[in-house]
Structure 1
Amino acid sequence: MTTFDDRERAFETKFARDEEMAFRVTARRNKLLGQWAANLMKLTPEEAEAYSRAVIQAEFEEAGDEDVVRKLLGDLTAAGVEVDDAMVRKAIEEQAIEARRQLMESK
């Protein structure tokens, strides 16, 4: 029975580690998205940092990426930036790859 218990604990540990990594990738991705959007809106470095934090916070409004897409689309459009849904979703994919790369390099 010890082998079974050890395997169960190993799976639980791996699951917890994978969930933590997914959370960190999403948070980093959202920070990078905030920087991307801030650059398009020509914000100052201080405003860009605050905006990145706001994009990270937007992730917690509902499950999935729709809350982040809505925030970015709304803010970019309000700032007069020519952007559409497809452009924002492409940026999400690109920044997710970059976020994963950065986290893997930091280990």
Structure 2
Amino acid sequence: MTILEKREEAAEKEYVTKLEQTFRVRARRDRLLSRWAADLIGRRDVDAYFGEVMTAGLAEAGDEGVFRKIWSDLQSVGASIEQEGLRETMRKFSLDAAQQVRLADADQQRSS
């Protein structure tokens, strides 16, 4: 294998790793957000609600599908939260999720 091929392979692995990490962070964020929202709207079936949120997230690129789903559900029960409040909560859970994924990755590397 030439140096160029090795560099290309390393770049591809790094790209795939970043994509996987981004997906895991988003899924973790959506799980945290689903638990939070389920509590506010009175849903006891948190896992089923998480599935609904994930489906909404896959239906639209970016975070808008998740935002619209949760915003609609919060509005349907008259929750007193502004759109910017929901967006801020999403940002907070994104940061929390990123930290949790990094810690899980570090634990996995230590145990390998």
Give the alignment's TM-score, normalised by structure 1: 0.91
Q: Percent identity?
A: 35
Report deviation, 1:61: 0.4
Structure 1, unaligned stretches of length 5 or more? Answer: none
Query: Superposition RMSD on alpha carbons, in Å?
Result: 1.3
Match of 2:6 in 1: 6
Contact 1:41 1:81 in 2 (8 A): yes
Q: What is the 5 A alignment of 1:1-107?
A: 2-44=2-44, 47-107=45-105
Cα distance in 1 between the residues matched to 2:103 and 2:39 = 24
Equivalent residues, number: 105
Secondary structure of the residue that 1:43 maps to in structure 2?
A: coil
Letter in 1 for 2:98: R
Work out the CA distance in 2 between the residues paired with 1:17 and 1:99.
16
Amino acid at match of 2:5: D
Deviating beyond 3 angstroms after TM superposition, the runs of 4 or more aligned structure 1 residues are none
CA offset digits 1:22-71 (Å, max 9, x no partner): 01111111111101101212332xx2221122112211001111111111
TM-score by length of 2: 0.87
Structure 2 unaligned regions, length at least 5 = 106-112
